[in-house]
Amino acid sequence: MRLMGYSAERSRQAAQPRLTGRQKMVLDFIKRSIQDRGYPPTLREIGASMGIRSTNGVNDHLRALERKGYLKREDMKSRALRPTSTTSADVVEVQVLGRVAAGVPIFAEENVQETLHIDPALLGGHGETFVLRVRGDSMIEAGIFEGDYLFVRKQMVAERGQVVVVLLGDEATVKTYQPEKDYVRFMPANAAYAPIIVRREDMNPTQILGVVTGVYRKL
């Protein structure tokens, strides 16, 4: 793991408001148009792609994207639509997941608290990544503290000694993975806490959500 530092610009990106599903669809359509054709779509083209008959309805989405900092327009001209730098190819989106609700899949929309826009180099190019906000002090001796953001590579397998995010009941917890013959030991990094021991026969393959690849702490 590594401590991830952010510039002021990246801190601003991290605080950028989340988009609704429809707003993200509009933004993605604009970006695809610019990438494929070299220029943005008209309001009518956006409306047609989204099933919105009124240009006023399209404008509502565009105004929301502007207000949230994802889009710039010049003189209300549709051909002057430009995604901001925070949505360009030099950043990626990762979702910050909150407390896991009973009966709701961990990666469901209900569990997404916010979206961070970050430099992909900080992720190390390791597949799909999500973020969890740390609660508690059970991993302080591993340098993981209350309030930290953990960058987690989504996968269902881990190697002995890796720090993993594991779903136990309705709680996602961060511990060191130590498999044994008949059981798996999830080790805290705080002498005040006891290991969590799960019998092999009780382990579900989907319980391991991912391996921690980095830590970000706001100073």
Domain around 138: 92-216
What was the pLDDT predicted at 102? 58
Q: How far is CA 112 from CA 100, 149, 153, in A?
A: 10, 14, 16
Nearest of 108, 112, 85, 84 to residue 98 by alpha carbon: 112
What was the pLDDT predicted at 123? 67
Q: Are 114 and 212 in the same domain? A: yes
Q: Are 119 and 207 in the same domain? A: yes
Nearest of 208, 209, 188, 68 to residue 131 by alpha carbon: 209
Write down which residue in 59, 87, 115 finishes a domain: 87
Q: Are 47 and 111 in the same domain? A: no
User: Any catalytic annotation for residue 88?
Assistant: no
DSSP 80-96: G-EE-GGGSTT-EEEEE
Q: Are 132 and 44 in the same domain? A: no
Q: Are 109 and 127 in the same domain? A: yes
What was the pLDDT predicted at 98? 75
What was the pLDDT predicted at 206? 78
What was the pLDDT predicted at 86? 47
d(CA 91, CA 103): 33
The CATH number of the domain where 173 resides is what?
2.10.109.10
The CATH number of the domain where 59 resides is what?
1.10.10.10
Q: Are 113 and 210 in the same domain? A: yes
Q: Are 103 and 65 in the same domain? A: no
Q: Per-10-residue mean pLDDT for the chain, 219 residues long? A: 38 62 88 78 90 89 89 64 61 72 66 72 69 90 90 91 90 92 94 94 87 83
d(CA 71, CA 89): 14
**Contact of 183 with 91, CB cutoff 8 Å:** no
Q: Are 211 and 120 in the same domain? A: yes
State how beta strands 149-154 and 208-216 pair. Answer: antiparallel
Q: Are 66 and 167 in the same domain? A: no
**Contact of 117 with 16, CB cutoff 8 Å:** yes
**The pTM of the whole model exceeds 0.75:** no
**Contact of 6 with 216, CB cutoff 8 Å:** yes
Q: The tokens of 200 are what?
A: 């092999």
What was the pLDDT predicted at 13? 45
User: Any catalytic annotation for residue 138?
Assistant: yes
Write down which residue in 87, 120, 147 finishes a domain: 87
Which member of 7, 11, 175, 218 is catalytic?
A: 175
Which member of 7, 138, 181, 218 is catalytic?
A: 138
Cβ-count burial 114-123 (b if 16+ within 10 Å, e if not) = bbbbbeeebb
Q: Are 152 and 82 in the same domain? A: no
Q: Are 55 and 103 in the same domain? A: no
Q: Are 26 and 126 in the same domain? A: no
Q: The tokens of 92 are what?
A: 């990626």
Task: Report the domain count for the chain.
Answer: 2
